[in-house]
Amino acid sequence: MKKMIGLVGTNSDNSTNRQLLQFMKEHFKGVAEIEIVEIKEIPLFNKPADKQVPEIVTEIAKKIEASEGVIISTPEYDHTIPASLMNALNWLSYHIYPFLDKPVMITGASYGTLGSSRAQQHLRQMLDSPELKARIMPSSEFLLSHSLQAFDESGKLKDQVQIEKLNGLFKDFVIFVDIMKQLGNAHEANKEEAENFSWETI
């Protein structure tokens, strides 16, 4: 049984991205234990002089480090990820490195037609940055469009085609997690590089 984190990529109380992760938690419970993690209580990033990370961020970081993989579900605001998700990633790469070499699957739900496609592309770029260095599952997008109409009253996805696609992507992610376990030989070097990286000295 895989241990995974489902990171809700928004601070909205009524998010279809949260619904999507909740559906995945139930739907894939025979394969993985997915813990839903919220970011809405994280304070605004301010690069504190004492380099102290808020306790809530430390707690989330520990959960990510202890997990075998992370699923991030993001909406799309103005062609990118929400400010709250960017804020969370800023904290989660500030002298802590929970995403380093961590397998990540990206999903997204959107009220419109495109299903957070641009936001997912931007999120991939962020997760590949020197301070995060996650391992993002390649060639995979789960784009849930018209998400307000996508779930029934019990929280299940209505569209069987979408369910089958999600089944295939999640099966691939489980395999991806296992493959990434074999590619950890440079982990310590990657960690040292991340710890010593500074945009000011480039």
Cα→Cα distances 54→59, 72, 163, 191, Å: 9, 21, 37, 21
Q: Which residue did the predictor score with more confidence, 198 or 182?
A: 182
Q: Residue 117 has what pLDDT?
A: 83
Rounded to two decimals, what is the model's pTM? 0.91
Structure-token pair, residue 137: 């599952």
What is the rounded CA–CA span in Å between residue 104 and residue 113? 24
Residues 160-166, mean pLDDT to the nearest whole number: 96
Q: Residue 113 has what pLDDT?
A: 74
> Taking the C-alpha atoms of 171, 96, 100 and 2 in order, what is their torsion angle to the nearest 10 degrees?
-30
Q: Per residue in 107-128, pLDDT tens? A: 999 887 777 889 999 999 999 9
All structural domains of the chain: 2-201 (3.40.50.360)
Q: Residue 201 has what pLDDT?
A: 61
Residues 4-25, mean pLDDT to the nearest whole number: 96
> Taking the C-alpha atoms of 2, 55, 137 and 160 in order, what is their torsion angle to the nearest 10 degrees?
70
Q: At 185, is the pLDDT very low, low, confident or very high (cuts 50, 70, 90)?
A: confident
Report helix angle 83-91 to 55-66, nearest 10.
Answer: 80
User: Is a pLDDT exceeding 90 seen at residue 82?
Assistant: yes
Q: Which residue did the predictor score with more confidence, 43 or 185?
A: 43
What is the rounded CA–CA span in Å between residue 106 and residue 142? 7
Q: Residue 36 has what pLDDT?
A: 98
